[in-house]
Each structure stands twice: as C-alpha cells, then as structure tokens.
Structure 1
Amino acid sequence: MYITITPQNLSAGFSKSSAEFVSYLEKENQGLDKEDLEYFFNQHGDQISAKEVIWEIDSNTAKLKNTEPKFYSITVSPSKFELARLQNSREDLKKYTRELMKDYAASFNREINDRPVTVSDIKYFAKIEHQRTFKGTDKQVKENQPFATQILQLKTEIRQVERGEVGGNIRSLQKEINKLQQAAPHKQNGQRIVQGMPKEGNQSHIHIIVSRKDVTNTHSLSPGSKYKASEVMMNGKLVKRGFDRDAFFQKAEKTFDSNFAYKRNFVETYQSRKLFLRDHKLYFTSILGLPASEKAIALKMLREAGVPMLHIPINKFQLARKSINLLTSGIKAAIRSGSIGI
C-alpha cells in the first residue's frame, strides 16, 4: 500500500479552484458511454458529478488565506498483491475508502464541540481509477531512453531522405530501427515501453479530494499540519492540535488487512519503509532474518518490483556497501513507482 497526502498546488499558473484537479480525475471518463462512467463518491453517496464536487470544495473555504491550501489530495495505490486479494476492485475499493476515511478522521488530534473528529466532520469526494501509464521517472522508461533517442534520430534521418535533403537507404535505416526496438531492455506485450504507455494488469487505485474545512465550513482540518499530535495552552485553555500521519498510515494497513483477510509481508509494511529510510543495512538485515517462508515472499515481492536481486547477499555478513547501494537504488525506484507497499 502506497499512500500520499498532497496539498493543493498554489504555485503561479495553477487554478485557485479545485476544477483543474477534478478535471484531471475525469480523464478516464473521456469517450465513455453514460452507463460506463466512473462517478465520484463519498461516505454516504454514489454517482456524484464532477460539477457537484467542484462546487462543494470551492464553496467550503471560509476564512482561509490565499496562501493556504483549500483542499488536499490523497492517493491510495494498493500493490498488485493487495489488488489480487480483492473480489471486485471497484466495490471493494469503495468499501475500503469509506473505512480509510474513518482512520483519517481519527488521526486528527483535534476536538470539535468537545468531541473527537469523526468521518462525519470530513468533506471529501473519492474516485476509483483503473489505469496507469508509464512515467518518465519509471525505471523501464529511463533504461529504454538511449534506444528511444537513437530511434528518433533514425526516424528524423528517414524523413530527410524522403524529402531529398540527404542521401541514404530508407530500408536499411528502418532495419536499424527494428533492431533497436528489439534490443530495448524493457517491453510490454512485445512493444518497447515508452512514456505514456498504459501499464498492463490491474492498476486500480483511489484518488480522494478532501476539503481543508470541515462540513460546517467552520473548523480547519489540515493533514499537512506541522504539529504531529500535541496539546498547547491557548487563552488559558488546553487545546489539542495536529495530525498523526504515522498513525494514519498504520491504520490504513490494518484496515485493509482486516477487511480483506490479507497477510501482509514485512516489505509491504509502513514500518519497514520507515526502517529503510532510517537505516538501509538494518532493513536488509531484517529481511534476511525473516522466517524462510516469509523471506521467500519478501524477496519475490522485491524482485517483481524491479529490485536487482542478483545483488542480494546470502547472509548478514555479506551486506557490503556496494550491495547495499545497488539494493537501495532499486528499492527507491520501487517506492517512486508504488510497485510494492513500501
């Protein structure tokens, strides 16, 4: 499970409205018949239109400054192992989203009218997407890039020959292109992987747009608060503040596992990701110390995420710096692409 929480982009050139972001989330609906459309939903309703989402988010911004985000984006990307556990991706992920937002509300160290924040206080809208495309930062695209560059040069040369600008044999140039297409290290269904190509397999994931203000447009609930979870005296009164991201991410895992009877491996856990970021050597040592069956699953997950498994040491004493650096690079790539739950 890979979850990100991102504030509204307030940079110059970006709309102050949620319309631009909501429009982006409508991309999979383009060209579909009405009965095939994927609608927004929230805790209590389905088939919510993009127009309604924009109005609800944009009108729920009382007393917020221009420098403050009006909404946050939460992206939830289950791994292929987690998706395989679902019976019906669309309905199961809707169910999970509604439980997840209870965890989100519970992670606020805040009170509204002397009671803890609940999901009923949160104004949010979510949407399930089923497609992903390869990005320029993906390992497959980056490692194919030298071949793409040479192919582009050859295609340019072919056009020049066709226009009579230079001499050359078009048939020979095309053969060179075909060789490069085949030599590229990463392919999907026999085709060289390029930026923008749709990824095969189940790519279902969740996008959630959540208002900064509560449903009454009175209280500010920011998951981007610099305060993790604390209490402070304000005007002689003890006030709770903050949002505990660690608690939210851990609850998100437990909620998925309990709802879908999922047995989570060490490398899929949020705690393992934190360990990896804090101490690479201890992270790999922990993997090697897992029971045999769990270690085999962990290594399989890492291998399928594109981590260079040839460099995995066979025991704790072979964790040389070179191996650690190679593994670390592979794990970071897996994190960026959301390939595994770390």
Structure 2
Amino acid sequence: MKKKFNIAVVGATGMVGQKMLEVLAERDFPIDHLYLFASSKSAGKEVEYRGKKYIVEELKESSFDQDIDIALFSAGASISKKFSPIAASKGVIVVDNSSAFRMDEKVPLVVPEVNPEDVEWHNGIIANPNCSTIQAMLPLKALHEKYILKRVIYSTYQAVSGSGVKGYRDLKEGIQGKDPICYPHPIAFNCLPHIDDFLENGYTKEEMKMVNESRKILHAPSLKVTATTVRVPVFYGHSESINLEFERSFKLEEVRKTLEEMPGIIVMDDPKNNVYPLARISENKDEVFVGRIRRDESIENGLNLWVVADNIRKGAATNTVQIAELLIEKQLL
C-alpha cells in the first residue's frame, strides 16, 4: 500500500493556494490528513477537496504542533519569514512559494526538471522560484548542458494573475473603464514596464529576481544575465523573449531536438503555419511551451526563443507540488 502523508497548505484561500489544491487532486498526491491555513480574515471558510469539505484554520505559531510532513506555503514573504522557520523547527518540510528564502545560501531553490538534486541538502525549507524564472529554466538547462551559456537577455510579457486577485481585478474592471487599485497606471489596453518595486540600479525587484535566481538554479554564479519585465493585459500565462549567447556553436536542428527531449517542454515551432506558443494555449497546463527558435544573426552562437507557461500552474502551484513529490521520490521524509 502506498504510504500517505500529512500535508498543510498555507494561504489555502488565495489564487495560488486554490490552484495547489487543484493540482494535488489532479496528480493524486498521497495525502492522509490535509490541513488548510490562512489569515484570520479567511479562517472558518469552507473549502472542498476531492469531495470532502474542510474548514480553513487561522495560521498561528501553534499550527505546526500537529503531525504535518510537508507544508506548502503561498501566503507572501512576510508570513513565510515568520512561520516557515517555526514549521521547520517542528520537523515539517516547508516548500515556500514566496521570495523570502530564494536567495538564502542555506535554502535550495528548485525546479524539479532542472536541479532535483538540490532538494537533498535542504534544512527544512525549500524555495520555489519566481514564476517567470521557472519557465525559463527548462529550456536554459537543456541548452546550457550542451552549448554552455555565456549570456542571457530576458524580455518578459507577464499576466496580471501574477499580481494575484487585485491584478486580475484591475484588468477585468479596467476594460470597463474603472481606475486601477493594484497598478500605478491602467493595465487594460496597456503595457507597464514595471513589475515590483524599483531598485537603486534602475531595475525592478522582479528583474533582479530573474537575474539572481537563474544563476543559483543553474549553478552558474558568473553567468551574465539581464532582464526587462513587463506587465501586459493578459489574465493567465507569462510570455518571454529569451536571447541566448553560447560558448559553443550549434545547429538549429540539434537545438530543436534538445528542447523536444527535455522533460516538461512542448516545442511549438512552425511559423509558416502560424504555430508558436500563445499565453491562452498555456492556460491551466503544466508544460512550458517553446517556439520562434531562430539564430540571433547579430552575434556568433546567438539564439532567440519564445517561451510561454501558465504562471499560476507551472510558475507556482505545480512546481511546488512537484518539489513535494520529489521529496517522496528521494525518500527524504
């Protein structure tokens, strides 16, 4: 009989928390007892999981006194910073979807198809990368192993669901002419080159997340990476134009084959028939879609890719659940 585990979802009523429950059910995750936690505002709400109704509990320091094996956190960095160490101190393995621990040297930052071995050195907390980083890592890992990355340039076109319910509402109501409450400018019929706060170097936090997380996940601390991240009027699905420069020469046919063979990637690259990845194609799917594969003819060993994925599923919920599955697979519980 397959062993089952006690699982907690922190932030269970939020957009990602709800998607985590959906993914857990779809993937038939072996759950014995399920615990759902959220803020005092959401405590007492009823949530259904696989035909059974659960009452959401208020997250407290004593919440992890119960017998919990894995806690999937998606409640924001401040909550994670406070409660993840408490959970870990009580023997719970935390998979955290916030930015709280991503760049902590003692915390692995994991995309299961890319660096599964890193879960083995966790100290009770494993970080889930930023959504825009996750989808880029699959093609970059596959190509880096073969051709060695020299430089990466990201230009992203990110869906409003990346900002949660408020971002989603800004687009939905903005189409009707209402003023924004989440963004500094209207997102409807617009593009905002501004995701997260601006830093002193002129980049945003989102842009620097992509830079620093890419280096950590690929174990390439000196890799040259730059990014421009843009919020666009799309509900679900982040799209990315990725420009790569390699140390080694390549043939396009080999590049396509390498990408096709990478687990988790679907290549859609037939421009003559208007076949290329679209945000709406990626919606509610776990795969990363790659297309517009072509040489950058302005430099030697340069390549352009168009990479699309559902930011709430693969970019958050599914990757988190995959990390939990990896813990079971590697018998780390």
With normalisation by structure 2, the TM-score equals 0.28
Look at both structures and tell me which one has the larger radius of gyration over its CA atoms.
1
- Hey, which of these two has a bigger chunk of helix by percent? 1
- Hey, which of these two has a bigger chunk of strand by percent? 2
With normalisation by structure 1, the TM-score equals 0.28
| Structure with more contact order per residue of length (Cα contacts < 8 Å, sep ≥ 6) | 1
